[in-house]
Amino acid sequence: MTAVTVATWAAIALIGLVGVDAFASSSRERSSSVSTQLASEYGARTRTQDDYIDINRSGGPLVSYSGPTPRPISNIRTPSLDEIWESTMPVIVQGGSLRTWAFANPQVDAVQVLLKSAGRPIDADIDLWNGPDNTPYKMRVYVEDGARRTFNAIIGTPRGPNSVAVRNIGQLEFPLDAVVRPDIQDGLAVSIASVVTRSEVIQGGAVRTWPFNSIVQSVAVIIKTDGRPLNTRIELLMGPNNAKQVVEVYTEDGIERPFFAIIETPEATGSVIRIKNTAPLEFPVYASVAPYTVGDYDFVSDSYKFNQWPML
């Protein structure tokens, strides 16, 4: 009787194990078929080993910049920075000297300020004068290489007449070329605003960074407030704390005179835009940073990183 009971229980256990294995197999098959069906409905497919071999061979879709001619992201046709320099006669500002541009026409509500050099550093102060002893907008600009990375900004000039002053605070051996002209309708300000899609709040004393891939050749930056004063420091970094361009901005009204700029980023390994709100906690700012022009790119295997977008 004991032998029969043991044999019976062994047979029952064997049947149970077979049933569990069959149930697990059917569950796996059903789960796999459901996921495949959902993927096919959304236009996706399951990757195979051949797909990964092709990715490793070609380098994938994310790549480094190799094209000489950047193309703008904005759909608004405006003169490029090169066209502005070619069509306008720049004013040479020697080291330690000051040049001013007056705009008496009240219809001019914004002006373009462009600075460059022959490859030497740029160190300049840019002021907006609105009446006697009234400077509602100030900028301190430093650029390591004024030929590789020109300075390009838009200054709001409501309630004219206004004057823009550019002072080269560098030494005599470091002259710079300056172009200051009205920002006409559908000018650079509209083109810059057309490429940004969102803004981030930066509280007083806080810092935000935006990394960019190497195919991004210039970046659009907009900083504004809700009407309070604006005090910020904008840096273009190449490596740890290696600032290639630094702009310190003050404006007494961040709505009437926000900060608009195009920062050139012709780097082979990408760049980082860092913005610090140097004002107290009670004065937040709203910053928008987006690619402005991008270059052509090829499939380069050593620059490929999985799940990384080429722009940001």
| C-beta of residue 245 within 8 angstroms of C-beta of residue 151 | yes
pTM for this entry = 0.71
Average pLDDT on 219-241 reads 93
Average pLDDT on 50-78 reads 44
- Non-local CB neighbours of 310 within 8 Å, separated by 6+ positions: 61, 62, 63, 213, 215, 294, 297
Query: Which band of pLDDT confidence, cut at 50, 70 and 90, is reported for residue 9?
Result: low
Average pLDDT on 23-45 reads 37
| C-beta of residue 157 within 8 angstroms of C-beta of residue 252 | no
pLDDT tens-place string over residues 100-149: 999 988 888 899 999 999 999 999 999 999 988 899 999 999 999 999 99
Confidence (pLDDT) at 83: 82
For residue 121, give the nearest of 170, 87, 157 by alpha carbon.
170
User: Which phi and psi angles does 222 have, rounded to 5°?
Assistant: -130, 130
For residue 152, give the nearest of 119, 122, 179, 120 by alpha carbon.
179
Confidence (pLDDT) at 42: 31
Average pLDDT on 80-96 reads 88
- In the chain, the percentage of residues whose pLDDT exceeds 90 is 50
Sign of CA dihedral 82, 83, 84, 87: positive
The chain-wide mean pLDDT, for the chain, equals 77
User: Which phi and psi angles does 235 have, rounded to 5°?
Assistant: -130, 140
Secondary structure class of 76 (helix, strand, coil): coil
Give residue 228's Cα distance to chain centre.
Answer: 24
Tokens 């004068």 — which residue?
129
Residue 187 has pLDDT above 90, yes or no: no
Residue 164 or 295, more confident: 164
Task: Tell whether omega for the bond before 79 is within 30 degrees of 0, i.e. cis.
Answer: no
What's the full length of the chain, in residues? 312
Residue 277 has pLDDT above 90, yes or no: yes
Residue 281 has pLDDT above 60, yes or no: yes
Average pLDDT on 150-154 reads 94
Confidence (pLDDT) at 67: 46
Confidence (pLDDT) at 132: 86
Confidence (pLDDT) at 5: 53
Residue 219 has pLDDT above 50, yes or no: yes
How is residue 108 written in tokens? 């001019």
- Non-local CB neighbours of 177 within 8 Å, separated by 6+ positions: 90, 91, 92, 93, 115, 116, 117
Side-chain half-sphere CA neighbours of 227 within 13 A: 0
